Chain A
């Protein structure tokens, strides 16, 4: 073992010894609190068994949740109720989520990935996308036909941004149209399109969206078009309503208006989904949403893209028909408040750092009589480019990032979910990031460059966080090393992305029959990214029970003090005298 590794091992040993110092006796308060938490956990866990099984998980890449179901009723969301419910009503559930032992996500397969479902589709990096594919996003054609007129079928009924509701192009397709405000040209439309491209590549269902340029005379009003005016009255839409929208919208020097066009989602709209529990009227929906990895990990994905306005009202279920089956598909919507935008104006300094009503955030100023104020409030980031809004990377902390409202699924994010999300985020190359940002069609090159730089800096922070809280070892596979010996190979993402130095990194492993103590005694250390398996096979015995499962636990030890020792358990079975890979699991 190299001398440096020895030093690290000694230091680690010292640290572990120090950590074993006697704990103070439990006070009555702590006992009561523990009992309370146990009770709450027991109550909440009573219905939460199906995902918590130990050992190798199912080797599935598709979670078949597309069984035909009766058409569910339309659900309606309201920001006001969401605010009260999420801020005050959900507090106990989130409390349990944070305090209680968190269950691992239920919909995780043998390879620690999320199988495809009506919620999520594995795209990049499992099926690597080119920069062009990232840039194209969910779009399947070239956007609205602007050779003719756009007929507005209804005024905009939701959200704060300027635009029109359903609007039909000359090809007969229906879109939703959103404009930029006159004060902040390109802000809303660029944020919407760029974030949609990323969320699509990350695996979520999003609408097809394009940036378009329209002349005022191209916009006509359908004779049946209605609008809810600002006085809360529904009436026939008039040309004055169109002019009113255009009056507040940014206009290009050539007289055209820049807008984002979102294609109407396929299927019948059924309302947004919640970030906890299951839908009563969707029999396919069996996994409580707080136990879906893609929704837990969405916290870090949203943090990267500063998708502050993620909430039930900005999601959508649609009742679709595919291959003769009718079921619900789940979408993320409305990215106009992503990046530096907050709809039609830049984000305020608070956004991304605090919920609308954040008791915890208020606690420190309250207790210190205002002497402590968070940095974002004392020295808020400025708006460097009107088309980018308030978007920065210096104060950004992925694990402290907050959306507009507390979401239960986000509170349930555990280290393995964080690693999954960080791995996704880190998989984007600079070229892919640039390609997605270019889709925002920012006219200011400096603004575009700033946006790319900031995204890349935030990406590093997300990766750093995800790889710190969980063992960044991934991509386990069986192969042969020199001499034909079977070996387990893996990737160290901390090294791959330059978060740790190879010279200061070595690995340790133990081997055991599943559920039993390891045979190797203390962990064995090694360098390189492969573990020869012949010796382990000798111990396991090539001819034993073919159903037996063995656990090869691996951890990295590094010179960088920020990295703690975290383990990955790789499950192996036996087949024809050799090991076969059954999957892996993060501690």
Chain B
């Protein structure tokens, strides 16, 4: 009974004095024109005709977003990092490492750290590339002393280089005489390594290398034997089986070896190579290498200079197999020319490279390379120097240069180099 009475009295009160009603909350307002904003939002989230040309990018972007989220949520980068980094023992993937012009190389290595003793390591790498270059082997490194200053290194490898280029011997070989050859080698070596100081190292190596030469697999160019007579080029007829002994002294004062801004790298090497059972091949090899990094008023501008001189001095009637000779050309030696462009028993090369910092992850590079090959160092001449120049980008990380893109030009044309790593 009370409820209807209360309702009736409320109604009367409202009719008599509507302002006595309890205050209503103020209407909720937006700072914008809601209808227009809703239309705009609908447009934003709908596909518009003018976006049609961008559709592939939109789809790619969406896929990339989903992919990155999946990577992050499942910690795939950490997993990948785990599998590519070394632990006590296990397998790890290998990327590249077969040299320049070998195609995209992949592989796997079984490794064991602290092998036999603390600091020791054994690795069994297996690599192959898209151009059928191959490298299978075993590498061993053992510290001899507890201070880890003296090491014993040993390795044995079977390698196939399926399609290296050969243009003939000498500085005047013709670019148009390009041929292809294949090397198959079995080698082992061993020797001590002395870490004399933090900056000074001494290596000695003794070993044996049996190399066979075949026609190359690059179908675009003639085989080496189609253009050059077997007896015209040392080593072409039956390869070479060489015993070798080498010693090298290395002085390294670079601040960060992978991306130096100051300091230098100096190396002297002498080696004796002798064919077993005959005097067909017997020669001494001398090698001098120097790199200097000079900051130009700032660590952001560096002038990098490099000198490389190699000579192979054959005994009397002996010769130097062509695949053991000095080879210039390509992204690591004489840029602007093809890989493996020049062969001869002696060679000299100089580089001047101006590097300047674009940001924390990239250096711009301008370079000039000069080099020549000859039978004897006395045959070098200023007029015989071949010159390449160009520029490019080096991508950086904390430790070094994981990747670089260079454009080189010479009188034989323009070449683009994509390469992994590379300290100089």
Task: Answer yes or no: are A and B bound together in one complex.
Answer: yes
Bound together, the chains give a CA A107 to CA B34 distance in angstroms of: 12
Q: Which residues of B contact A79 (CB under 8 A)?
A: 72
Stretch of B36-44, B188-196, B212-220, B382-390 that contacts chain A: B36-44
Tell me whether B357 and A373 are in contact (CB under 8 A). Answer: yes
User: CA separation between A234 and B79, bound complex, in Å?
Assistant: 11
Question: Are B81 and A232 within 8 A (Cβ)?
Answer: yes
| A232 close to B68 (CB less than 8 A) | no
Q: Tell me whether A228 and B78 are in contact in the complex, defined as CB-CB below 8 angstroms, given that A47-B43, A109-B31 are known contacts.
A: yes
Interface string of A24-61 (1 = CB under 8 A from B): 00000000000000000001001111110100011010
CB of A50 within 8 A of CB of B357, answer no
Q: How far is the CB of A236 from chain B (nearest CB, A)?
A: 16
Are the C-beta atoms of B32 and A286 separated by less than 8 Å? yes
CB contacts (< 8 Å) of B76 on chain A: these are 232
The answer to whether B40 and A50 have CB atoms under 8 Å apart is yes
* CB–CB A64/B32 < 8 A: no
Chain B nearest CB: distance from A582 CB in Å? 15
Selected contact of A377 from candidates B69, B354, B357, B362, CB within 8 Å: B357
A393 to B273, CA, bound (A): 65
Taking a contact as CB atoms closer than 8 A, the residue among B50, B71, B356 that contacts A80 in the complex is: B71
- Contact (Cβ within 8 A) B359 A373: no
Of B73, B361, B364, which is within 8 A of A357 by CB?
B361
> Are B72's CB and A76's CB within 8 A?
yes
Quick one: closest A residue to B36, CB to CB?
Answer: A50
Task: Say yes or no: A365 contacts B356, CB within 8 Å.
Answer: yes
**Chain A residues, Cβ within 8 Å of B33:** 49-50, 53
Alpha-carbon distance A280/B45, docked complex (angstroms): 7
- Cβ-neighbour of B364 out of A80, A89, A115, A365 (below 8 A): A365
- Complex contact B44–A106 (CB within 8 A): no
With the chains together, A361 CA to B80 CA distance in Å? 32
With A58-B29, A58-B31, A63-B30 given, is the CB distance from A286 to B41 under 8 Å?
yes
B356, A348: Cβ atoms closer than 8 Å: no
Interface flag for B86 (CB, 8 Å): no
Tell me, rounded to whole Å, the shortest Cβ–Cβ distance linking B368 to chain A: 14
User: Judging by beta carbons under 8 Å apart, are A232 and B37 in contact?
Assistant: no
Across-interface contacts of B68 in A (CB, < 8 A): 78, 80-81, 84
Within the assembled complex, what's the spacing in Å between the Cα atoms of A206 and B355?
45
Chain B minimum-CB-distance residue to A63 = B31
Known: A63-B31, A232-B79. A47 touches B40 (CB 8 A): yes
* Closest chain A CB from B56 CB (angstroms): 13
Q: Does B200 contact A (CB under 8 A)?
A: no
Contact of A378 among B36, B298, B358 (CB under 8 A): B298
State in angstroms the CA–CA spacing of A234 and B73 once bound together.
Answer: 11
Q: Give a binary string over B59-82; 1 marks a CB under 8 Å from any A CB, 0 the rest.
A: 001001100110111111111111
Is residue A366 contacting chain B, with contact meaning CB distance below 8 A?
Answer: yes
- Chain A CB within 8 A of B376 CB: no
For the complex, is B145 an interface residue (Cβ under 8 Å from A)?
A: no
For A411, the chain B residues whose CB sits under 8 A away are: none
A232 close to B32 (CB less than 8 A): no
Give, as a whole number of angstroms, the nearest-CB distance from A110 to chain B: 10
Residues of A within 8 A of B82 (CB): 230-232
B3 within 8 A of A: no
Closest to A105 in B: B31
A263 within 8 A of B: no
In the complex, whether B229 has a CB less than 8 A from a CB of chain A is no
Given A43-B50, A365-B358, A370-B364, CB of A106 within 8 Å of CB of B32: yes
Q: B323-368: which residues lie under 8 A (CB-CB) from chain A?
A: 354-362, 364, 366
The docked-state distance in angstroms from the alpha carbon of A328 to that of B71 is 27
**A370 is contacted by which of B30, B50, B356 (Cβ under 8 Å)?**
B356
Q: Does B28 contact A (CB under 8 A)?
A: yes
A67 within 8 A of B: yes
Known contacts A78-B69, A230-B78, A370-B364, A49 near B36 by CB under 8 Å? yes
Q: Which of B38, B80, B359 contacts A358 (CB 8 A)?
A: B359
Judge whether B300 is part of the interface by a CB distance below 8 angstroms: yes
**Which residue of the partner chain, among B31, B44, B73, B77, contacts A107 with CB atoms under 8 Å?**
B31
Indicate if A350 sits at the interface (CB-CB under 8 A): yes
Question: How far is B69's CA from A67's CA once the two chains are assembled, in angstroms?
Answer: 30
- Decide: A373 and B300 in contact? CB cutoff 8 A: yes
* Binary interface encoding of chain B residues 291-321 relative to chain A, with 1 for a CB under 8 A from any of its CBs, else 0: 0000000101100000000000000000000
B31 shortest CB reach to chain A, Å: 4
Point out the residues of chain A lying under 8 angstroms from B34, CB to CB: 50, 286
8 Å CB interface, A231-283 against B: 231-234, 277-278, 280
Known: A64-B28, A78-B68. 11 other contacts (CB 8 A): A51-B32, A81-B65, A109-B31, A228-B78, A231-B78, A233-B79, A278-B41, A285-B41, A286-B41, A358-B359, A369-B366
* A-B CB proximity, top 4 nearest: A370-B356, A232-B78, A232-B79, A64-B28
Pick 10 A–B contacts, CB within 8 A, sort by A. Answer: A43-B50, A49-B40, A50-B37, A234-B75, A278-B44, A286-B41, A350-B360, A366-B364, A373-B301, A378-B300
